[in-house]
Amino acid sequence: MYPNDNRSVSELFTDALNQFSALVRNELQLARKELSFKASEAMTGIGLLVCAGLFLIPALVELLTALAAWMEELGTGRSLAHLIAGAAGLVIVAILGGIGVSRLKANSLVPERTFNQLQQDAAAAKEHV
């Protein structure tokens, strides 16, 4: 307490409670904004994945058909050429799917700044108690 602070304990308690209430409101606003931003990022990611999938399917079919035809021209049997082209398509799908899933993992959607701020606030409150 400051030497010239003549407030009563109830006034100090009320002031501390008001400050704590304001802090909680501010933290909730920060969390809401950060979650909104993260949700927007996730929706953008999902939309881009859907669009990419729509364009990727016909392009991939054409490329794999061309690969199989080229391999047939090189002397590979028709069945083997199509099997190799199909395996190449699966590798491409696995890579793209892995990238898409990694961008939508739950821990990338966590409001990290808010949690860090809450931890700092808790530590500061413990110091002052």
Residue 121 within a domain: no
pLDDT score, position 32: 85
Residue 127 within a domain: no
Residues 30, 34, 37: CA angle, nearest 5 degrees: 145
Residue 123 within a domain: no
Residue 33 within a domain: yes
The boundaries of the domain holding residue 23 are 9-116
How many other CB atoms sit within 10 Å of the CB of residue 116? 10
* CA-based R_g, the chain, Å: 29
How many domains, the chain? 1
The single residue listed with the structure tokens 């892995």 is 98
Mean pLDDT by 10 residues, the chain (129 residues): 71 85 85 84 86 85 91 92 89 86 71 75 71
Cα–Cα distance measured from residue 52 to residue 58, given in angstroms and rounded to the nearest whole number: 11
The structure's pTM equals 0.45
Cα–Cα distance measured from residue 75 to residue 81, given in angstroms and rounded to the nearest whole number: 9
Cα–Cα distance measured from residue 88 to residue 91, given in angstroms and rounded to the nearest whole number: 5
